Amino acid sequence: MLVIGLGRFGGSLSEALVSHGWEVLGVDNNPRRVQSYADILTHTVVADTTDDETLRQIGAHEFSRAVVAIGSHLEESILTTSLLVDMGVPHIWAKAVSRRHGRILQQIGAHHVVLPEHDMGERVAHLLSGRMLDYVEIEENFALGKTRAPMEIVGRRLGESGVRSSHGITVVSIKRHGGSFTYATADTVPQKGDIIIVAGRTEDVERFAELQ
C-alpha cells in the first residue's frame, strides 16, 4: 500500500494498515515526518510527489492501491492524484478538505474520496443535537443511525409496523439488553430498551431517531 502524506490522517492510517498486516510505503516531502515513521512503517521515503519522474522512481506505478492523504496543500493533492491516475494505479483513495476539493478529485479520476474532518464534524453534530447514539453517513443524503427503539415499534413485528412506509427507514440490526447486535427481520419484535440500527435518507433517519 502506498500512502502519500504522513500528516495526522495519513500517519494514523498508515499505522492502522501496518497493524492489519499491510506493507506500507509512506511518502512525504517533510523529512521530519518521514523520520518519525521510519521505525513504524515498512518503508518510508522523502519525495516530491507532484513530479512524475519522482513518483516512478519510488515505484508508485507498481502499486495496486494508493492513498493521497495530502490535505493542506490542494495543488499538491490534485497534482499527485492526477499523476497516479495517469499511471493507471487501479485503486486510488484521496483525502479532501471540502466537498469542492472532493469533487475536483473525483473529476480527475480518484476512485474514492474521503473527507475525514467534515465527516467527523457531521457525526458529532448529529450526536450532540439529537437522540442518536451513533451516526455514519454512507454517502451524501444516505446514513446509518444507531438509536433506541421508539415505543411506536415496541412489541410489534417489524413487518407489521409499517416503519418503512411511514418513516422511510429500514431497521437493519437490533441489540437486546446485555446481548450483541444481530440482523433484524420482518419477524423481529423490538422490546423496550433495545438498540437498533436504521438506514435511510439522512433526514428520515434524523426524524426517526427523535421518536420516543
Grid coordinates in use for 126? 448529529
Instruction: Look at residue 130 in the predicted model and tell me its pLDDT.
Output: 66
* Interval 171-196 mean pLDDT: 94
Q: Which amino acid would we find at residue 57?
A: Q
Q: What is the DSSP string of 140-200?
A: TTEEEEEEEPPTTTTTS-HHHHTHHHHHSEEEEEEE-TTS-EEE--TT----TT-EEEEEE
Question: Over 80: is that where the pLDDT of 212 sits?
Answer: no
Mean pLDDT of all residues belonging to the chain: 91
Question: Over 80: is that where the pLDDT of 72 sits?
Answer: no
Instruction: Look at residue 211 in the predicted model and tell me its pLDDT.
Output: 87
Residue found by looking up cell 436504521 in the block: 198
- Checking 129-134 for CB contacts under 8 A at 24+ apart, the result is 130/206, 130/209, 130/210, 131/209, 131/210, 131/212, 132/205, 132/206, 132/209, 133/195
Instruction: Look at residue 129 in the predicted model and tell me its pLDDT.
Output: 65
Question: Over 90: is that where the pLDDT of 21 sits?
Answer: yes
* Interval 38-57 mean pLDDT: 95
Least confident of 54-68, 120-134, 151-165, 198-212: 120-134
Q: Which amino acid would we find at residue 170?
A: T
User: pLDDT class for 117, splitting at 50, 70, 90?
Assistant: confident
Question: Over 70: is that where the pLDDT of 126 sits?
Answer: no
Instruction: Look at residue 137 in the predicted model and tell me its pLDDT.
Output: 81
> Closest Cα partner for 92 from 205, 32, 5?
5
CA distance 5 to 11: 8
pLDDT tens, residue by residue, 132-174: 888 888 877 898 999 999 999 999 999 999 999 999 999 999 9
Least confident of 4-18, 57-71, 117-131: 117-131
Instruction: Look at residue 116 in the predicted model and tell me its pLDDT.
Output: 79
pTM reported for the whole predicted model: 0.70
